[in-house]
Amino acid sequence: MGKKTAFTLIELLIVVAIIGILAAIAVPNFLNAQIRAKIGRVRADHRAFTVALEAYFVDHNEYPWGVFPNQVGGYTTASLTNLTTPVSYISSVMQEDPFGEGTFGQSGPSNKKFYVYVNYNGLWARIDTAAQTHFKNWPYFKGYGMTSFGPDDLDSGGVWAPLNYRVGSRRGGDLALYAPSNGLISLGDICRYGGGANLVTAGG
């Protein structure tokens, strides 16, 4: 009869160690690839919405309102239904934000993980960051912003960037926009803006 062979304890430990090393290399790369894919999806969704919003603007000379006119309206199906009916500028407004816990840090079945959409129409194009006061000669804004919380899963106030508005994030800092150069998982919102300041000022 031939001699039976089996793995020794040392050989098994070596195999386990090799598997552990390979996992330590592969898992972070896999997670990073997932994050990059989510970032790509956010940017693609924002581009699609931009095309729809600009087409809507051509027909109506204004962008769709948010939930509350002239105030922050979280992106829900109610705030952008004009993009799908009666004219279909985009097939669906149900895209969810792959990042974040909900609109402006809130969570719930009605707003969880949806992109934040804000219509700036009628808001001031500049706000004093020290006194936060409005001046009569500042122009009104006529535009919009769409925001994803980004890989840090925090509301960093990026939706207010076009208004030059100083806001605190949930980490206590100023508004922040996501930049991959700061690290794949870094502070900041992924945003896309459209429109601009109305040349007619509050003072006439």
Cα angle value 114/117/121 (rounded, 5°): 165
- Per-residue model confidence (pLDDT) at position 118: 82
- C-alpha count within 13 angstroms, C-beta hemisphere, residue 27: 6
Q: Among 22-26, 29-33, 63-67, 157-161, whose mean pLDDT is lowest?
A: 63-67
Q: Is the distance from CB of 85 to CB of 123 less than 8 angstroms?
A: no
- Per-residue model confidence (pLDDT) at position 103: 47
| Structural tokens at position 74 | 């979280």
What lies within 8 Å, CB to CB, of 33 at 6+ separation is none
| Structural tokens at position 36 | 């990059």
- Per-residue model confidence (pLDDT) at position 94: 65
Give yes or no for residue 173 having a pLDDT over 90: no
Give the tens place of pLDDT for each residue, 37-49. Answer: 999 999 999 999 9
Give yes or no for residue 99 having a pLDDT over 60: yes
pLDDT averaged over every residue in the chain: 73
Helices and strands (DSSP H and E) totals, the chain:
1, 3
- Percent of all residues in the chain with a pLDDT value above 90, rounded to a whole number: 14
| Structural tokens at position 149 | 């919380």
| Structural tokens at position 118 | 């804000």
- Per-residue model confidence (pLDDT) at position 137: 58
| CA–CA separation, 26 and 186 (whole Å) | 21
- Per-residue model confidence (pLDDT) at position 4: 60
| CA–CA separation, 160 and 77 (whole Å) | 21
Residue type, 25: I
| Distance, C-alpha 44 to centroid of its chain | 12
Q: Is the distance from CB of 170 to CB of 104 less than 8 angstroms?
A: no
